[in-house]
Structure formats: structure tokens, C-alpha cells
Amino acid sequence: MKILSAVQLKGVDAYTIEHEPVSSINLMERASRAVADKIRARWDTDTPIKIFAGPGNNGGDALAIARMLGESNYKVYVYLFNTSDSLSPDCQTNKQRLIDFQSVKQSMLGIRNIEFVEITSQFTPPKLEEGDLVVDGLFGTGLSRPLNGGFASVVKYINASPATVVSIDVPSGLMCEDNTYNVMNHIVRATVTYTIQYPKLAFFFPEHEQYIGEWEVLDIGIIDPDNEDTQTPYYFTEKSDMQRMLKSRSKFAHKGTEGHALLIAGKKGMAGAAILSAKACMRSGVGKVTVRTPECNARILQVAVPEAVLNFDVDPNCFSQSFDTHEFDAMAIGPGIGTDSYTVQAFIEQVSMSKCPMVIDADALNIIGSHRGWITQLPRCCILTPHKKELFGLISTTRNSYEELERTRELCVRQQIYIVIKGAYSAVVTPEGNVFFNSTGNPGMATAGSGDVLTGIILALLAQAYTPDVAVRLGVYLHGLAGDLAADDLTYEGMISSDLVNYLPKAFKALKPKTKE
């Protein structure tokens, strides 16, 4: 699924109007119907609905929703802000439709369930109570500067209330992409955002969660011409994308055909990282795993992962010496290796000399962060999987997630590498500067060792000859899917990282297309 900019969203609307063809007012009716249907499905007619409509097309949507909810016998209070006497044409049309609808309903049935107020100067705000549903239709994707003055006051009033808030398309005041210079307390804090046709880039940044709340994309049939006007570096990964990437296994497969993975992991006291990565690798279909680790970890690894082959470093306590990797199909380095001086030198020698596809994680990223110039020595198309602190070691701290993402894109293009920005909607950034936000995963995965599991999954896919692009995107998706399946049974609070490994088989099973019996 594409993530389009505010300018592009306006363009695809215009394209749909011209090529479907459909009038702009009827396209607005379609969007409003989709939101009204969601409200009707979730809140009953005993819920007082208080609608705040702005002067533009977002306000037009809100007025149409008011009429549709009125048709379903909701009690609706509508506040249209027209302080400049400049309603958009479609907003003006829906204002008149709402007035006409209420007039007809009252004259024919004697029912007045819509109260309409048009604010042209002073506004006396209604009382917003806990059982109320506020529909925010003040401003949509066309907003290009922070809200101020009276509209900022209305937003603050809504945010101070105990009412539940539904925003149409985007919470009023939120820019679709870059909010670096926005006034953040002048943005509506929605409980739910029903967004039209495409998710917005701002939805994927953690600092915006408090404004967006829960969000859902509503498909209203907008046409994407898929030309240079709708080219975008931003995408939201869906299940169907991943199903197409997953390979089927030959009936004649054996361990020699399914790849030999090398995992360099664990120092004294950190065998757990090696265990989690090795188990995840084995559970992700690889034919064979060799773990390069100090001999102090021998007993625990042989008991915990008997399927793995062990290759001991010359130092009994840490990774201290690089070695030849020609017999391996892919390599991962970093989980639990530490940052001892011997390990630091061995790391850069290892990644410089190794030619196989590679995943770099955990302590290996900390080493790079402490030796910034070494990033130029990383092989092309290697995969880095940092959490936030490790990422800042690569790109320095940033003002917000938008700047963080743009700097990461620049680094990936410059060095021709992949970076996974781990977190909610983990972002896979490619050497072309494309960004794929992941749709699986949950807060229960915020637990020690979760990243080690991801490293093992991606390593297994690389060893099975998946391209780096596919291995990293599919690995991130499967990792999150295993977490979702685990959370269904264990709850967020009850999950630990070994649960992700245990649920990997179910994740693969869930992803495979069902065959006809």
C-alpha cells in the first residue's frame, strides 16, 4: 500500500473525479458514507454526536456525516465554523443538504434530531461530556501551517474534554508528513482516526500516537494512476505482499540445499543472545547453523540448541579473531558479542573480509557507533537492525521521527545498505531510499532478546538464497506475526522473546496461502 503525500492525495482525488468519472460532491459522499458506517457500527443511537466542521472539504465530509447519522436517528449537534464566509463549494452544498434534510424531516415527521449552528463570529462551545462522541472535521490533509487563534482554542477545548473523538482522515492540525515546526498542542487528540484510501506518513511516528489514536484505512475506490505523479518512497506492507515473497520448498530439499548460516554471537555471560538467534534461525527453515562463540558457552549452547554446530573462538570468553567464511551462505554478527577491544578489532576485520550476505546487529552496531568511519567498510547490501539507541549511534540524535527517517534514508543510499528501524511499524529502509513500514507486531515484543530473534530469522532467509531486499522485509513481517500470534495466547505482558521463536512455525503457516482441498 502506497503512502502518498498531501499534494499527491489531492492529485489522485482529481484523477478519480476526471477518469471514473465521478463528481467531487459524490466522491465526498462516498467518503462520508464510509465514515458514517463505521460510527454506526461502533456507537449506538443513544450516543450524543457533536460534530465540529471546518470551512473546507473536511468540513464538507463532517456535514455529510451529520446528515447520514441523522437519517439513522442519532441525536446530532453540528457546529460549522464559517468565520470568513468562505466555505468550499462542496462544503456549501453539504451545508444546504443538511438544512434541507432537517427541514423535511421536521415537517413530515415532526422530528428534530439535528441541531445546526453556523459560527460566523463568537462561539459558545457546547458542553462535552464523557458519553459524547465528537466528530472532528475541522481540517484535513490540505493543512499546511499550524492552527492558531480561534481554531487552536477549539482544538484545546476538545482535547480538554472527556468525550471520545473520531477524526475524519487526519486529526485536525496534524500535517501529513513533517510536523517539525508544528504547534503540537494545537492538534486534536483523536481516539480513532478513519483515514481515506491511504495511510499518512505521520501515522507511523511514535510521537503522533497521542493525536491519531487507533486508525483504520477506508477504501472508497480512489484511482491511483500509478505514474510519476504517484511515485513514492513510502509503503505500508500488507500480508499479500509477503505471501508472494515466500518460497515453496522442493520435495527433494535437504539440509545442503537450504543454506548454511553462520552466527557470530555471545560472550561470557551472554550466551542467551546466541541461543535466541540460533533457535530463530533454525525455526526459519535454514538447513544448518554454525555458531561462532567462545568456549565458555559450549555446554549451554549444546543443551539449548543441539541442532547447531559450534565453532569456538581462540579466546575462551569473547569473539577475538576473524576467520574465513567462504563455506557459509550468509552471516550474522553482533548478538551478545560485547565491545571488548579484541572484539572491536575482530569485528571490523570480519565484516571487511566476508563476502556472503550479512546481518549486523546489537553490539556490532554499538561498535560501529563508536567508530563512525568504519561504516564505509561495510559490504554493499548488508542489513543493519538497530533499536533507537543503536540507530542514534549511526545517524546522531534527531528532533523527531521524520528527521530520523530522512537521515536514515540518506545513510542507506550513501552506503548502499539496508537498515531496519525497529519499533511499532518497524521500517525497512533500502539502498534506493525506499521505506517499507511493517504491519505486524505489538507492544508485547518490547522485551529483551526480541532483536536477537529477528537477526536469526533474517539470517535464515539470507542463507536460503532470498535476496537481501526480500529477506529483510519478510523477516521483519514474520517476526511481528509470530509476536501477534503469541500475544493472542499469552497477552502482551506475558510474552518473552523465546515465545517469538516458539510461534515462528505458526507464523509461517499463517502466511502461506491456503490450498484447496
Mean pLDDT of 51-64: 98
List, for residues 296-348, the tens digit of each pLDDT value. Answer: 999 999 999 999 999 999 999 999 999 999 999 999 999 999 999 999 999 99
Bridging pattern class, strands 260-264 and 234-236:
unpaired
Mean pLDDT of 390-397: 96
pLDDT(514) > 80: no
* CATH superfamily ID and name for 239-511: Ribokinase (3.40.1190.20)
Residues written for the chain? 517
End-to-end CA distance of the chain: 31
Is the CATH number 3.30.750.210 carried by domain 6-232? no
Predicted local confidence at residue 517, as pLDDT = 45
Predicted local confidence at residue 331, as pLDDT = 98
For 238, phi and psi rounded to 5 degrees?
-115, 165
- 323: exposed, middle or buried (Cβ count in 10 Å: 0-12, 13-18, 19+): middle
Distance CA 24, CA 18 (A): 9
Q: Which of 175, 170, 172, 178 is nearest to 216 (CA)?
A: 170
pLDDT(466) > 50: yes
Distance CA 106, CA 91 (A): 23
239-511 and 6-232 share a CATH fold: no
Average pLDDT of the chain to the nearest whole number: 97
Helices (H), 187-297: 209-212, 239-245, 271-282
Percent of the chain with pLDDT over 90: 97
List, for residues 155-165, the tens digit of each pLDDT value. Answer: 999 999 999 99
Q: Which of 72, 133, 66, 134 is nearest to 100 (CA)?
A: 66
Percent of the chain with pLDDT over 70: 99
pLDDT(136) > 80: yes
pLDDT(516) > 70: no
Distance CA 345, CA 64 (A): 66
> So where are the chain's domains?
6-232, 239-511
